[in-house]
Amino acid sequence: MRDAQPNTKYLKDYTAPAYWIDHTELTVELFDDYTDVTAQLRIRRNDELDAAGSLTLDGQELELLSVALDGNTLSAEQYQVGDESLTLSGLGDQHLLTIRNRIYPQNNTALEGLYRSGGMYCTQCEAEGFRRISYYLDRPDVMSEFTTHIIAADGQWPVMLSNGNKIADSVMEDGRRRVSWHDPFPKPCYLFALVAGDLRVLEDTFTTMSGREVALQIFVEPQNIDKTEYAMDALKRSMRWDEEVYGREYDLDVFMIVAVDDFNMGAMENKGLNIFNSSCVLANPATATDSTYLRIEAIVAHEYFHNWSGNRVTCRDWFQLSLKEGFTVFRDAGFSADMNSATVKRVEDVQMLRTVQFAEDGGPMAHPVQPDSFIEISNFYTVTIYEKGAEVVGMLHRLLGEEGFRKGSDLYFDRHDGQAVTIHEFVAAMEDANGIDLSQFKLWYKQAGTPVVEAASSYDADAQTLTLTLRQHTPDTPGQTDKQPLWIPLALGLLDAAGNDMPVQVEPAEAWTASSQVLHLREAEQTFVFHNVSERPELSLLRHFSAPVKLEYQQSPEQLLFLLQHDTDGFNRWDAGQKLMLHWIEQARSGSFSLSDAEQTALVSLLQDDQLDKSMLSYLLNLPSESYVAEFSAPVDPAAIHHARETVRLAIANTLLPHLAERYQQLQSPVAYQPEPQQMAQRALKNLVLSYWALVSSDGVTAAQAQFEQADNMTDQMAALLSLVNYGSDEQADAALASFYQQWQHDTLVVNQWLSVQAGSSRRATVASIEQLLQHEAFDWRNPNKVRSVLGVFANQALVSFHQSDASGYALLADAIIKLNGINPQMASRLLTPLTRWKRLIPELSALMRAQLERIQSQEDLSKDVYEVVSKSLS
Ligand code: PHE
Ligand code: ZN
């Protein structure tokens, strides 16, 4: 155990910095074994503060070489070097501070700061990585204009990049090359970036709405140049969309994206120089699946949109992280919804929210969208900050309407351009632009936990009224009790017996769409009365998932089936289907499950439907995942969930069997692969059909084998591989895996998918097989994508295999976390997530999991990242 407990930081302790850094001139000299950094900082006293002329800079793992003030080198007595700081005192109003230090990028396995990935140098500074490059005020409210010089042996790194525009490129007298960049927009250092490598580039241009031409460049390692086209296309569409929907124009002459293999997260929005995990940017039809294409489209857009929501207007402190992340996720979701099916996008987002975010909100790491404390900020890049944050912005959009929301966002960008602000300013702009009081609404940012809304309705045939009573409460979360009622927008509709929307008249409420209304639930309990309701209606509540709540409303399987067939809200059709399937799984657990005739007929007609979007159909016909089911059961018994779900799957597949071969044939496409929505939808449905077919019929397995051999795109090849691995004979599964590896061993991203197929298969993944994968030549502890593909997938998806009754699955994960704690603390901490759920498991498993957490806690030298999650989980 560590002797000194890491400090907790509190939002309430925020104070402005003692100095500003108006200009930062950084010279980075790359040598083979080390890198020297010279920072010339023009500092100015913050006269709003009664500062004592003392300045403490952040620094981590830096070898200090020299400090000079206004050109005079200081002696070591004139400053104090702490473990993670450099302090100067007796300072005046303004100085030029020059600091030289040495770093060792090749030894940097944490992937924060400047590091080597494959054959290149790259940086990752958010949240607090810049302090591993140079001593600095590493906090987002210090915004500085950056000039960067990169120096290296001439010819060694043909491409040397930093933020902004390139201003000089020359060979110096000593024969080394020096490339200089200038970024005119003041920015916090977390948006700094630097790249050097032997890279290829795809180039294009974009003309902005005011007619400026912007150069677009995507840099990759040479072998990947044929995988850049789609990202470029997505980038141009994002730029256009942000102009059209938000009125936001790009502001520099060049916009660059760089792909790197070793990256802790998905991508990073550094000003003018986005750095991407290669898995989130590289694609061609042969190597990337449709879902990879969709992910690339969303992430390219997300990072691009940050140029305004994040960079031009940034965060005052890290407690405001959702200010940029929640808003930007909301923006990228709008973009994806416009590019593809809006309903499907909503379904995917809600699936993720319910399985991952609700679990977080109900566990030991629960925190508000605006947290009030943390130990390690890296632990707060969470689904709550991102996805719940986006839901909160989505509710604002729902409350204000399209136009009102746009007025608010315009005001926000105008008012705060060039500033570092808080969530309060964002909401205030929405209030001021719309003349609305959002004080109660702001509780969404302050209160953790998923609110529960209970609904009860009664119909009075004589009075022709429907009475709906809604009650809300938000459960206690660590450090928070006695929560206040939230402002919950609840969209709903009433369906008549034929499945048509009935005109709804209710007070108080407002029209949302022609057929739906939004009720504003603002008290702990409220009753709404609908008038002129001519027949007993079926209620469709929480349409489009209008608020991130758990809705409790009693509906029979017959009512759910009716909604699945008739609801005019696409999201609620899906949701009714999922509830029905959860009910089936529940029945299967108690041994009393069979599909009624009506249910069987409905399934078959969905399979054969040719009106609905095929992607939607594939969601309607797919069972909720095991982790989704787990979220709806307490205590969680993973093996029981798995077996019950398999029972239901088998029943569905057998019901559909007479029609599967024909439907599969119909869904084949003679057209060449394109990553476009209609084709993707058709493939999604075809491959779902294939998986049901292969589950119950050897003809299906034969079809999978043929598809595996003939596929000209990864979507079909991967789907066939999954079917063979999960439903083929052992020999077929082994052979398919071997041939796939043989074919793709030189493509690291495809190999990651190959690892995931094995690690996530309940049938194949055993503790022994995971250990083998960890020994495989394709595995690398230092590469986060590999770690996620094996360990992340195993612990989050192969539930029966992970939750072994002898604790071997838990022990394997704990060993990996202990190992990674020393290599890459952020990765180690992220892998802990499944272990934080121990309290929800059945007692036998719960105790075993807790024991593994305690074992981790007892290790020496725990990183802050791991320490925080483990100690909160055990308290
Ligand atoms: N800010 C990045 C994004 O959401 C995520 C990120 C955080 C990347 C921290 C790296 C490190 O777009
Ligand atoms: Zn982001």
Q: How far is the CA of 375 from the centre of ligand 1 (A)?
A: 18
**CATH 2.60.40.1730 domain locations along the chain:** 1-198
pLDDT greater than 80 at residue 3: no
pLDDT-derived band at 447, boundaries 50, 70, 90: very high
Two structure tokens written together for 557: 């399987």
**What ipTM did this prediction achieve?**
0.99
| Model pLDDT, residue 513 | 52
Q: Which ligand minimizes its atom distance to the CA of 191?
A: 1
Ligand 1: nearest atom to the Cα of 264: 10
Nearest CA to ligand 1 atom 5: 268
Q: How far is the CA of 517 from the centre of ligand 2 (A)?
A: 32
| Model pLDDT, residue 392 | 99
Q: How far is the CA of 265 from the centre of ligand 1 (A)?
A: 6
Helix (H, G, I), strand (E, B) or coil at 585: helix
Q: Which ligand minimizes its atom distance to the CA of 265?
A: 1
| Model pLDDT, residue 503 | 86
Nearest CA to ligand 1 atom 9: 126
CB distance 245 to 334 below 8 Å: yes
Q: Which residues line ligand 1 (CB under 6 A)?
A: 124, 126-127, 264-265, 267-269, 302-303, 325, 381
Helix (H, G, I), strand (E, B) or coil at 277: strand
The 10s digit of each residue's pLDDT in 334-362 is 999 999 999 999 999 999 999 999 999 99
**CATH 3.30.2010.30 domain locations along the chain:** 199-277
Nearest CA to ligand 1 atom 7: 126
Query: Who wins on pLDDT, 704 or 49?
Result: 704
CATH architecture of the domain formed by 199-277: 2-Layer Sandwich (3.30)
Q: Cα dihedral sign for 56, 58, 62, 68? A: negative
**CATH 1.10.390.10 domain locations along the chain:** 313-446
pLDDT-derived band at 462, boundaries 50, 70, 90: very high
| Model pLDDT, residue 2 | 46
pLDDT greater than 80 at residue 176: yes
pLDDT-derived band at 506, boundaries 50, 70, 90: confident
Per-chain residues with Cβ under 5 A from ion ligand 2? 325, 328
Using CA atoms, how far apart are residues 591 and 348, in angstroms rounded to an integer? Answer: 30
**CATH 2.60.40.1840 domain locations along the chain:** 454-558
- CB atoms under 10 Å from CB of 50, counted, come to 7
Active site residue 303: yes
Helix, strand counts (H, E) of the chain: 28, 33
The 10s digit of each residue's pLDDT in 712-728 is 999 999 999 999 999 99
Class for domain 454-558, per CATH?
mainly beta
- DSSP designation for 264: S
The 10s digit of each residue's pLDDT in 812-823 is 999 999 999 999
- Please identify which residue in the block is written with the tokens 């830096």: 62
CB distance 427 to 409 below 8 Å: no
Ligand 1: nearest atom to the Cα of 269: 12
The 10s digit of each residue's pLDDT in 824-838 is 999 999 999 999 999
For residue 403, give the H/E element and its range: helix 389-416
Q: How far is the CA of 260 from the centre of ligand 2 (A)?
A: 17
Two structure tokens written together for 473: 């409460």
- DSSP designation for 365: T
What are the E-state strand segments in 368-508? 373-374, 420-421, 452-460, 465-473, 488-495, 506-507
Nearest CA to ligand 1 atom 8: 268
Ligand 1: nearest atom to the Cα of 306: 12
Fold annotation for 1-198: Immunoglobulin-like (2.60.40)
Closest CA to 358 of 621, 555, 547, 582: 547
**% of residues, the chain, pLDDT over 70:** 98
Fold annotation for 748-875: Zincin-like fold (1.25.50)
CATH architecture of the domain formed by 313-446: Orthogonal Bundle (1.10)
Q: How far is the CA of 446 from the centre of ligand 1 (A)?
A: 22
pLDDT-derived band at 318, boundaries 50, 70, 90: very high
Q: Which ligand minimizes its atom distance to the CA of 268?
A: 1
CA 198 to chain centre: 30
Q: Which ligand minimizes its atom distance to the CA of 377?
A: 1
Ligand 1: nearest atom to the Cα of 299: 12
Please give the average per-residue pLDDT across 222-249, as a whole number. 99
| Model pLDDT, residue 504 | 78
pLDDT-derived band at 52, boundaries 50, 70, 90: confident
The 10s digit of each residue's pLDDT in 66-92 is 999 999 999 999 999 999 999 999 999
Q: What is the mean pLDDT of the chain?
A: 97
The 10s digit of each residue's pLDDT in 765-803 is 999 999 999 999 999 999 999 999 999 999 999 999 999
Using CA atoms, how far apart are residues 856 and 819, in angstroms rounded to an integer? Answer: 10
Ligand 1: nearest atom to the Cα of 310: 1
Closest CA to 445 of 419, 468, 423: 423
Q: Cα dihedral sign for 444, 447, 452, 456? A: negative
- CB atoms under 10 Å from CB of 432, counted, come to 14
| Model pLDDT, residue 781 | 98
pLDDT greater than 50 at residue 544: yes
Ligand 1: which of 381, 382, 385 to mutate, most ligand atoms within 8 Å of CB? 381
- Please identify which residue in the block is written with the tokens 């890198």: 35
Using CA atoms, how far apart are residues 242 and 822, in angstroms rounded to an integer? Answer: 41
Please give the average per-residue pLDDT across 317-324, as a whole number. 99
Q: How far is the CA of 251 from the centre of ligand 1 (A)?
A: 21
Nearest CA to ligand 1 atom 2: 268
Q: How far is the CA of 390 from the centre of ligand 2 (A)?
A: 11
| Model pLDDT, residue 1 | 41
Catalytic member of 303, 348, 425, 599:
303
